[in-house]
Amino acid sequence: MVEFEPKIIGFLCNWCSYAGADLAGVSRIQYPSNIRVVRVMCSGRIDPIIPLEVFMHGADGVIVLGCHPGDCHYSEGNLYEERKIKMLKKLLALTGFEPDRLRLEWVSASEGQRFAEVVTEFTEQIKKLGPSPLSGKKPDDRILENLQAATNAASDFRLRVLVGGERELTEKCNVYEEKIPQEEFDSLLEEVVKAEYVRHKIHLLTRAQPLSVRALAGAVEMKPADVLDQIVAMRRRNMIALDHVEGTTPFYKALEVK
């Protein structure tokens, strides 16, 4: 039996991680050849939707490598990416796609050996997880649909604003000399990530055809009353509208999100 060889996409910071990879090569340090490197100026330039789209195209794993905290050439780009990866892992957990297929690590220009070790360890981790459910000739349509909903949620300005404002909210005081404890912010992030994912999943489902609350509840595995709450929120944002009523049952259809 042929051993599974994962397809891994690596996004490497130009100033540190890419230089570390180059050092590993020059020093002839061995590491798996499964990784395909994409060179970026800063790890913070990796938009949240990019790893999701890479997964939807069949990659088995995605790793982002940046400068160590305090060494970023663009001040705090690496720390901003860390917050985005935290949000993405929460989204992935909702889709049924393993969050462990996504990873963030720090590698400096002088750490050729560390680069090799990180890539080797991540490759072994992906081998244990096995092939992506979206690779091969028959990708899992359910997970593909879920990842599309997650991508749409990650594109929404609400999640972007929340992630972008984490440091301001948790480390700096507002005009009332108050700041949000990290645990409270993490709980809020979890709640908002789930709500946005469900709303975009509902939006995706109702783009194809009008659906009732009961049908949507079965599709998103929630109570009808909870789905109705989400629909009310979506109607306020012009994401969905009443399409028609059959007997006493309303059917909803997605609106084009601008």
CA pair distance 124, 3, nearest whole angstrom: 12
Which residues are CB-neighbours of 11 under 8 A, at least 6 positions away? 38, 40, 43, 46, 50, 62, 63, 64, 65
**pLDDT score of 173:** 73
* Domain 8-129 falls under CATH 3.10.450: no
Same fold yes or no, 8-129 and 156-254 = no
What is the fold, at CATH topology level, of the domain defined by 156-254? Arc Repressor Mutant, subunit A (1.10.10)
In what order do the strands lie in the sheet containing 240-246? 211-212, 249-254, 240-246
Give pTM, 2 decimals. Answer: 0.93
- What is the rounded radius of gyration, in angstroms, for the C-alpha atoms of the chain? 21
> Domain map of the chain by residue range?
8-129, 156-254
Q: In what order do the strands lie in the sheet with 8-13?
A: 35-40, 8-13, 61-66, 102-106
Mean pLDDT by 10 residues, the chain (258 residues): 89 96 95 96 96 97 96 92 96 97 97 97 97 92 97 94 89 77 93 97 96 97 97 96 97 88
pLDDT tens digits along 131-166: 999 998 899 999 999 999 999 999 999 999 999 989
